[in-house]
Structure 1
């Protein structure tokens, strides 16, 4: 291999851009700076020195209705990204998440430059839907680096490429999410602090905020006063504040990252929409109730395609349905309140969740090598020899 390995990264959205930036830092550390980086990315990768051939925002699509109008641009960006990889002749191509974009880039690269090794960082959700993708990936992906511990076995079972569990970025966030001694006492003090997370997309806020507000009100009637904190992404702050203004229990909306983290460290329980937030709460050790609602057409499609027996990421990681989930017609204020109320006191339900969440450190490899460092080692190992 050449003295300085040349790694080309392709990300398709902000979350992948963040992973790419962390990987660049780990690659530089692992090689004492003796590495060349090229790529397609956004602001985070740009801060690490990557000059992207086009803005990452060109790939952002909000809703199915927007796809036809954007399709010509997206197809052009796929071609441009593949052309950039082939022209760069890197020692390895790392595609990061966003499979609808990055996998199309990888297929083009494999067809035109088959000697370039291709690593897929973030396993597609083949265990949940479109399982046939796993076997198809063998044609254009040499190795998959998975964020979740059950994914290597899922890929093996479905005939996918060799897969390594490298750890989830959240495993490096323990210090900011878990309480110190004083904060641990706050978790036990009255009034209980309850986190409510209706979502990070406007549609989720519209669908979930009302039922969540009604559920919290019912819990307050049964359990007494609550301190309710609603974390919101800054771009949705006005929408969230408007939504919670009509709640019968006052709620404090926080957009600052430090305030959000402080609330996670002090929370006794949480009510959240399904998604990554369930894993974030699990790492923080906060017992929770999870719920989700989608429009009828999306529900019908999901029933046809989704194979997983739970929609809750934390349940999938833990391998058991320890976190109650209420989906679609089961997502009612009465059912949510009935499940959330026992989590506010020393009950069998709270003890069961707390015990299960305590297993996360072992299951997710928390406290071992950082995920980015593991990825860097595997990426460097995948570099072709010249």
Structure 2
């Protein structure tokens, strides 16, 4: 059985590799994975069409500058998939590229079943995409429990929640299995998480430093930890050197999860890390500043929140602060209430417990996703 994949970033590559392994466990025939992937999928036998790093472009200006090359890669990928005549095409995340491939493949080879793993966030913006997807996507594999109902309400293809990839992360599983204390530790520990991209960090880190300084005056002996990744370490250390109160900078996944396990609260850039914190049971305040071009397009955002834990909870559980409301004096006071034994801390901790329960699944997400791919193939063959 030949399965074509289209992924555009390294997080999708990990999902693709796990899905290939699950397909091999479940299928009653040999699986030949082909298409576009990264190192993890290469280890599972995918000879990638080109290096997916070519698609790691952020910002409208950068995309426009690379447009001719991107269009060439798009046409190349479509031709490869159509000519290979796979039993199915699995498009993982990376909407801008993978869905353009899927649309063209459906037009040129309508008999190929198409599954979208990690669909576009139609619950946050561009809700019209859900109904449009019915024309070229047969099944949707969702990683958030609220997505199937959202896709149904918007007229999209059938969607099934299989669990978020984070649920399979062993360090996070260990944290989730432990009982957190009901009150903050003494002295409390604050996590600072200014983002995973340079632009995010640059737009927030100075405010994080000022917030920490104010908070340190209000909570003496406060411990602050800033986890980061190796590619941002030198930049982070350079910026932190000018802080009046300096956090402990830790690098790497192992030290990051150790910090999560010890944390009493977090100040974080809004994004996937908010879901990590929620699953780890860490109360948080979230911040974000868009880049100038995205800020001009903010009217396209239709979601009632940008915080994933809020979507899962169904109410504004986690406080959010955008642009002008990223105010250190305000953030420090909110974090003080989350770092100490207060009604605010207890309410958010209880809500995060609900988020964890709603996200929880039985079994392996990749195994469930593999079952959906095989069902899509069987349905097309009938």
What's the TM-score, normalizing by structure 2? 0.94
Q: Could you tell me which residue of structure 2 aligns to residue 85 of structure 1?
A: 81
Pair 1:118–1:174, CA change in 2 (3 A): same
> Among residues 225, 234, 237, which one is paired with 1:241 in the alignment?
237
Q: Could you tell me which residue of structure 2 aligns to residue 307 of structure 1?
A: 302
Larger mean CA deviation between 27-36 and 123-132 belongs to: 27-36
1:288 aligns with 2:277: no
Q: Could you tell me which residue of structure 1 aligns to residue 356 of structure 2?
A: 361
> Among residues 317, 329, 345, which one is paired with 1:322 in the alignment?
317
1:263 aligns with 2:249: no
Kept after mapping to 2: 8 A contact 1:178/1:264? no
| Secondary structure at the counterpart of residue 35 of structure 2 | strand
Report the Cα distance in structure 1 between the residues aligned to 2:113 and 2:326, rounded to whole angstroms.
45
Q: Could you tell me which residue of structure 2 aligns to residue 95 of structure 1?
A: 91
Report the Cα distance in structure 2 between the residues aligned to 1:79 and 1:88, rounded to whole angstroms.
14
Pair 1:151–1:186, CA change in 2 (3 A): closer
1:370 aligns with 2:360: no
Residue 256 (structure 1) shift? 1.6
The count of corresponding residues between Structure 1 and Structure 2 is 380
Report the Cα distance in structure 1 between the residues aligned to 2:271 and 2:348, rounded to whole angstroms.
18
| Secondary structure at the counterpart of residue 9 of structure 1 | strand
| Secondary structure at the counterpart of residue 272 of structure 1 | strand
Gaps of 5+ in 1: none
- Give the alignment's Cα RMSD to 1 decimal: 2.0
Gaps of 5+ in 2: none
Residues 4-43 of structure 1: CA deviation (Å, up to 9, x unaligned): x321111011121111111111112223773221121111
Residue 133 (structure 1) shift? 1.2
Q: Could you tell me which residue of structure 2 aligns to residue 40 of structure 1?
A: 36
Residues 251-304 of structure 1: CA deviation (Å, up to 9, x unaligned): 1111221111100111111000100000000011101111111245422311x1
> Among residues 130, 137, 153, which one is paired with 1:134 in the alignment?
130
Q: Could you tell me which residue of structure 2 aligns to residue 272 of structure 1?
A: 268
Report the Cα distance in structure 2 between the residues aligned to 1:296 and 1:37, rounded to whole angstroms.
40
Kept after mapping to 2: 8 A contact 1:177/1:261? no
Q: Could you tell me which residue of structure 1 aligns to residue 374 of structure 2?
A: 380
Larger mean CA deviation between 270-279 and 190-199 belongs to: 190-199
Report the Cα distance in structure 1 between the residues aligned to 2:105 and 2:181, rounded to whole angstroms.
55
Report the Cα distance in structure 1 between the residues aligned to 2:149 and 2:177, rounded to whole angstroms.
38
Larger mean CA deviation between 56-65 and 237-246 belongs to: 56-65
Q: Could you tell me which residue of structure 1 aligns to residue 222 of structure 2?
A: 226
Report the Cα distance in structure 1 between the residues aligned to 2:152 and 2:177, rounded to whole angstroms.
43
| Secondary structure at the counterpart of residue 157 of structure 2 | coil
Q: Could you tell me which residue of structure 1 aligns to residue 332 of structure 2?
A: 337
Residue 245 (structure 1) shift? 1.2
Q: Could you tell me which residue of structure 2 aligns to residue 60 of structure 1?
A: 56
